Amino acid sequence: MRRRLLSVAGSEPVGPYTLLRLERGDLEPGEPGQFFMLEAPGRVLPRPMSLCLATRSELAFLIDPIGPGTRTLCELEPGAELHLLGPLGNGFDLAVERPLLVGGGIGIAPLPFLSLRLARIGSGRPPAILGFRSEWHAEAAALLPGAEVCIEPVLVTALLPEEPHDVLACGPEPMLEALRLLVPSAQLAWEAPMACGYGACYGCAVELDGELKRLCVEGPVLRHGGTHGSPMSPLLLRTGPASRAWAPAGQSPAPPATVGSRAGATSSDL
């Protein structure tokens, strides 16, 4: 975990999102599913962002401009500087035999990096299924060549193959809850309100195996189901299992404006 001042190399629109590219220097990208805290100029709290792509010279983050902080990050010009901290949290376990990547909306963010890392240690890019709310949002699928894509009202869970796979997923909470029921062994990258990123503020506490734990430390990738109830709410109370195994294909709602930031994708803005 290191805090660095990096320069903006550039940015490109990807549908409604922005791919922000930073000159990485000697900063290590970490493991797929880990995240960095990006300090938006002029904002009080940093924003947690999953690493989308990594080259020898750059780190890239896919950002959904849903508030003042994320819009500020998306509007940074080449040569501008910003601090980031990371890599943080626990990423995906890559020791899987039949990986299948599942993404919904802005939850596609960590999957390109994950796909490339799995390809490096396996026999090519793993299959992927992606769901989005519109054709415009689905333009982000270009970051994951060869992925099978659906648009609402078709549900991403409807694309799951019948044969068993090792599911690695990131997306909106309803999608992850559905996957938790359909594929109990799935590795799920959850989101939670977050302000510090390394366990000091307890803003991302969720109920995990009957105990409140910090998602930024134990997660954001949880295995074998992970949480009880919704990890989008701070200091969870236990809730019953989801009543229906379905999920919107790629809805990417902003979290409540009164809490911190979301790990794994975009963030609320304070």
Domains and CATH numbers, the chain: 2-88 (2.40.30.10), 99-262 (3.40.50.80)
Instruction: Kindly report the pTM of this predicted structure.
Output: 0.81
Helices (H), the chain: 68-74, 111-121, 173-182, 215-218
Q: Where do the DSSP E strands lie in the chain?
A: 2-14, 17-23, 35-38, 47-50, 53-54, 58-63, 81-88, 99-104, 128-132, 148-151, 166-170, 187-189, 193-194, 205-208, 211-214, 221-223, 261-262
Is the distance from CB of 126 to CB of 118 less than 8 angstroms? Answer: yes
How far is the C-alpha of 42 from the C-alpha of 44, rounded, in Å?
Answer: 7
Q: List, for the chain, all residue ranges whose pLDDT scores fall below the cut of 50.
A: 225-270
Q: Report pLDDT for 268.
A: 34
Question: Which residues, 6 or more positions from 77, have their beta carbon under 8 angstroms from its beta carbon?
Answer: 8
Q: Report pLDDT for 201.
A: 79
Q: Report pLDDT for 208.
A: 63
- Any idea which residue has 């090519």 for tokens? 124
